[in-house]
Structure 1
Amino acid sequence: MPQSTEPRMPVSGEHVRRAVAHCLDALRDIPAAQWDGRAADLEWTRWETLDHLADDLLTYALRFGLAHPMGAPRVPLRVSRDRPDGPANVVFGDRAAGPEGLLTVVEACGGLLATAVDTADPDTLAPHVFGASDPEGFAAMGVVETLVHTHDIAQGATPQGADRAPEPPRDLCERALARLFPDVTVIGTPWSTLLWATGRIGTPDRPRRTDWRWQGAPQSRG
């Protein structure tokens, strides 16, 4: 099989930090009263969705704190929920600190993931429900989780009452698609394609996905 001539687009801690910065910029002005409103089509509130994002970023980072990540299916922290239908997390933002405090938690957890993936041996594998992946794969997962959940939270938020989040940087979407959705063809923009790939939107040519998963298996760095 011939080798692709397309230049490879690696994903690193820098891209995790940029995705988190986009999240903070997009969500910082949502009024406090709206954080208990539903996030897009999810069963969670905006607050719960951001809690879930922080939890994802933290637990991805923790995998690379182990000397042998594949030796443990998960870091066995206690998992709990604030309500029966809420997300099952190991970390929750302090309600008393308000939305700005929860955004600070997300920033800190994203920073931990960025540092973890940049300092880990690039050939290290860690477990994930979709299959074992390397630090670059987990960086891409952090980017995808951050971008799409920022989109979820922003849906319907005022003051305009519509999708208020600006599009994330094009190259972040391109890198995430190339790393985790290599079989998905970009139609329209990389951002709209990423939203389609993760089941957020449909198009006349591509119905909305009701079941999807990314491919975390390590890619050749040649």
Structure 2
Amino acid sequence: MRRQAEQDAATPGPVTADDLDQAVQLALATLREAPPTAWDGKAGTLEWDCWETVEHLSDDLFAYAAQLGPRQPPLDGEVPFLWEPRRPGGPANAIHADHAAGPVGLLQVLEASGAMLIAMVRTAPPSTRSYHGFGISDPEGFAAMGVVETLVHTHDLAEGLALPWAPPTALCARVLHRLFPDAPYDTDPWPTLLWATGRAELPGHPRRTTWRWNGVPRS
């Protein structure tokens, strides 16, 4: 298992729309196991509750899709949707789910937002470049960002909802290679991704208190 993980990390391949689709569908399958009464609890170490965290993840996926949408994507800022929190300390979102629709509706919002980014990654020319605060990026980069957001926020949610969550090794290896070129590649990719995003210890490496990825296309 460890040797296979190292091989996957050494030659991970590009991040694709299929990878993002897999991440979103795995997240949905896990989150659908949560009891309807559990969504008001905190999501792991975040200050947001689980409902807000799914809205935030949905908003991330929508926002990345929006950046790829214009014929001439912006290189100096975000497409200017209005992002605002609904309470002090809550996530600043453009996307909110109707509470009356319950958890089923909330997860439909997540799936729909993911589908928008999946479609944009599939259809945008590879030469497309658009703004992100962590570096002007391409469709593959936005796919990788969407995968990371989905994997790590599902980790936060799984902690809050007491659900098991362990995404595929090869998928983690591909997004590490694309967005975290300074991350170690002799460690298991999933714990390494949690370390790279400040969520876990990694033996032999100091825990990160701040972090960011590098969205610039890899040469």
Q: TM-score, normalised by structure 2?
A: 0.91
1:68 to partner: Cα distance: 0.9
Could you list the per-position Cα deviations for residues 48-74 of structure 1 after superposition, in whole angstroms to 9, with x for gaps in the alignment? 111000000001001111011125611
1:91 to partner: Cα distance: 0.7
Alignment check: 8 A CA contact 1:27 1:165 kept: no
The answer to whether 1:89 aligns with 2:88 is no
Q: Aligned runs of 1:26-175 on 2, under 5 Å?
A: 26-70=30-74, 73-158=77-162, 164-175=163-174
CA distance in 1, matches of 2:69, 2:76: 12
1:183 to partner: Cα distance: 1.7
CA distance in 1, matches of 2:160, 2:106: 20
Alignment check: 8 A CA contact 2:50 2:160 kept: no
Alignment check: 8 A CA contact 2:39 2:161 kept: no
Q: Secondary structure, in 3 states, of the residue corresponding to 1:195?
A: helix
Q: Secondary structure, in 3 states, of the residue corresponding to 2:41?
A: coil
Measured on the aligned residues, the alpha-carbon RMSD in Å equals 1.4
1:185 to partner: Cα distance: 0.8
Amino acid at match of 2:218: Q
The answer to whether 1:20 aligns with 2:24 is yes
1:36 to partner: Cα distance: 0.9
CA distance in 1, matches of 2:103, 2:153: 15
Distance 1:42-1:51 versus aligned 2 partners, 3 A rule:
same
* Larger helix share, 1 or 2: 2
Amino acid at match of 1:126: S
Could you list the per-position Cα deviations for residues 134-168 of structure 1 after superposition, in whole angstroms to 9, with x for gaps in the alignment? 0000000000000000000110424xxxxx22311
Aligned length: 210
1:207 to partner: Cα distance: 2.9
Alignment check: 8 A CA contact 1:150 1:165 kept: no
CA distance in 2, matches of 1:18, 1:12: 10
CA distance in 2, matches of 1:96, 1:177: 38
Percent of pairs with identical residues: 52
